[in-house]
Structure 1
Amino acid sequence: MIFKKQVYQPDKKTNPLIGFLLFLISIVLLVLTGPFGFIYGLFHSLFAKGFTGLGEFFLKIAISIDQLGNVLMQHLLNLLWIKKDGYKFGNRDETISSALGRNNKMNTLTSFGQFIDKILDIIDNNHSLDSIDYYIEPSKQIIDKLAWIHLADGKILSTRSKGKTKYYIPGGKRELGEPDAKALIREIKEELSVELDVSSLQFMGVFEAQADSHKPGVLVKMTCYYGNYHGTLLPDSEIEEMVWLNYKDIEMVSEVDKLIFDYLYQKGQLL
């Protein structure tokens, strides 16, 4: 059983003057204390873990610099590396490589962006795709959702809401500060009138794709769990239809659900 507690708080609105002062303070501290911290970190890592520790230390620094670059150069990268409908750089919790990987998956890199991606692949095969961080802070570009994967006889339980034409795997959005288990249990009870057994929840994976009915570049991140339930499956007032789908029904579901269908089909769990 795996629970990934994701408790995020939205950024506070900051007075521009305060933001500028904090920026100056951070620069001064970096200039004055950075060299000493770096030298001490080198020797500490070397003596604690040898060259392995040294490599880990350099990797952490590289990731931090990458995250800084994602904020510092966001407007330039959005102009040169991605198309207008691409996933935007600029999330302070994400590296440049992660954002590059998301655009790689979405085929929204410009020719220049593809060139940069190929160079990185030469250095480290599949670098951008392997660098995608699925656990960054939520942003306006990523819709954070959870899904319950319930399979029977090679079919997967899916629902269709009123006014919708596509089917969706049961689940929904988390409320602010909700961990995975609590959010998923609440959503499934609201949608299907059953109680998930918290002790049976098993993490399956995280999938991302273009969000339906949203402008290009807005992604939905689906964190999926298997799990048993108590009660009788009964759709609530918002759910118009509850069905069992096979892999052949893949065109009837959302883009992110298609990725989940592919994954389950490859594992032989969806027929």
Structure 2
Amino acid sequence: MLLVRKHGTGSFIQPGGKREANESDLTTLTREIREELGCTLVPDSIQPLGTFEAPAANEPGKWVRASVYKVRVTGQIACGAEIAELIWVDPRKPCERKLAPLTRDGILPLALSLEQ
């Protein structure tokens, strides 16, 4: 699973971001993947996995709510926009990096369950 860390933050999260006015989940995801990673979603690969909530990693006292999708991308993956670093994580192995609560408690267990 690909995770990113934004400039000025310490926790790794899933690529993606907040909706702009009148955007759907998929429009937002498409835009954010292009801006953050410089690549494009493969349309027939998009699988909705659910909606998750957790305390925000970088905004104390706030919560995040994320619609999560499994996707494939095409093109070269690289840090763009506000992304400082990216890493590939195997959900079957412990991660030595600091993960956001949503990633650690929701998304990684979900990814692991999808492999079984």
Q: How many pairs does the alignment contain? A: 113
Structure 1: segments with no counterpart, 5+ residues? 1-155
SS at match of 1:177: coil
Q: Letter of the aligned partner of 2:101 in structure 1?
A: E
Q: Letter of the aligned partner of 2:23 in structure 1?
A: E
- 1:183 equivalent in structure 2: 28
In the TM superposition, what are the counterparts of 1:86-97 in structure 2 within 5 Å? none
Of structures 1 and 2, the one with the larger relative CO (CA 8 A, separation 6+) is 2
1:254 paired residue among 82, 100, 103:
100
Task: Provide the rounded CA distance (Å) in 2 between the counterparts of 1:180 and 1:237.
Answer: 19
Cα distance, 1:214 vs structure 2: 2.7
Q: Provide runs of 4+ in structure 1 moved above 4 Å.
A: none
Of Structure 1 and Structure 2, the greater strand share is in 2
Q: Pairwise CA RMSD of aligned residues?
A: 2.0
Report if aligned partners of 2:16, 2:33 keep a CA contact under 8 Å in 1: yes
In the TM superposition, what are the counterparts of 1:1-271 in structure 2 within 5 Å? 156-216=1-61, 218-247=62-91, 248-249=94-95, 252-258=98-104, 259-265=106-112, 267=113, 269=115
Q: TM-score, normalised by structure 1?
A: 0.39
SS at match of 1:165: coil
- The verdict on how the C-alpha distance between 1:230 and 1:268 changes in structure 2, with shifts beyond 3 A counting, is closer
Q: % of aligned pairs identical?
A: 30
Of Structure 1 and Structure 2, the greater helix share is in 1
SS at match of 1:249: coil
Q: TM-score, normalised by structure 2?
A: 0.85
Residues 46-86 of structure 1: per-residue CA shift (max 9 Å, x gap): xxxxxxxxxxxxxxxxxxxxxxxxxxxxxxxxxxxxxxxxx
Report if aligned partners of 1:157, 1:244 keep a CA contact under 8 Å in 2: yes
